Amino acid sequence: MTSLISPTRALVLASPALALFMACSPADQVAGASNGAGYFNSGTTKAPDGGAAPADSGDPVVPAEEPVKLDSGTVIQSPDAGVRVPDPVTTRLDAGAGDAAAVAAACQMTFTVTTVSYGGDYAPGNIGAIWIADTNKKFVKTLKLWAAQRVYYLTTWVPTTKSNKVDAVTSATQYSHTARKATWDCSGVDRQPVPPGTYRVYAEYTESRGMGKIAFWDFAVGAGPVSLMPPDTTSFKKASLQLTQ
């Protein structure tokens, strides 16, 4: 009686090694491959490219860490190669704002001057003012005012300052000519520090129903300490300006 054995089965029986190879079903090589899951079956013979087959069939595929290179050229080792570390950002103040803030932190001016009677209608009674302006005569701040009802006779101070007295030391008409002292913290009427530059301190007084005497002295803010002892004039004597900054 003739035995019917297929050629394939005969080949398997003839080669045990081939039989062992065929026992590994393709469906068992990568579990979940059809749904995209990245897990290995314990019978897997080779891991996907880029990773190594773990001993535990439940471990996920973890790609090797890649160094992340910053724009600055620094290389760091990141646990997540998909996250970029931004360059450090340095915040700086606007240059003008920074300079003004530095001036405000240390700036203090003291100005002293003695007025001299010129024999006016109300002598020795007098009214006057001391104020700061820039070299374009733009008003910055009034420092001292001694005047009351006749203040409009200060024919330079009134139109220049619009009679602004913010933070000024004020008093009534004076009946003698003595030293007038004023101080300034290098701020404007907005109480904000002035920018570095050249400024003027003005002094005006009158003993009459009209224009009296006026003078000004220039000095620098933001360029270091200032010490001025201007020479006497007919109407102003013993002037002194000291600025710390």
Provide mean pLDDT across the span 99-119.
Answer: 84
> pLDDT at residue 140 above 70?
yes
The predicted structure's pLDDT at residue 8: 46
Residues 6+ apart with CB under 8 A from 33: none
Where helices occur in the chain by DSSP H, the ranges are 7-14, 16-23, 95-106, 157-161
Q: Model confidence at 36, in pLDDT bands (50, 70, 90)?
A: very low
Whether 61 contacts 48, CB under 8 Å: yes
The values of phi and psi at residue 7, to 5°, are -60, -35
SS (H, E, C) 69-82: ECCCCCEEECCCCC
> pLDDT at residue 150 above 60?
yes
209-242 per-position pLDDT tens digit: 999 999 999 999 999 999 999 999 999 999 999 9
Q: Model confidence at 106, in pLDDT bands (50, 70, 90)?
A: confident
Report all structural domains of the chain as residue ranges with CATH numbers, in order of start: 25-62 (no CATH), 104-244 (2.60.40)
Q: At what angle do helices 7-14 and 16-23 cross, to 10 degrees?
A: 110
184-216 per-position pLDDT tens digit: 999 999 999 999 999 999 999 999 999 999 999
> pLDDT at residue 178 above 90?
yes
Closest to 175 (Cα-Cα) out of 129, 130, 128: 128
Q: Quick check: pTM over 0.75?
A: no
Residues 6+ apart with CB under 8 A from 78: 65, 66, 67, 68, 85
Query: Alpha-carbon distance 70 to 52, whole Å?
Result: 29
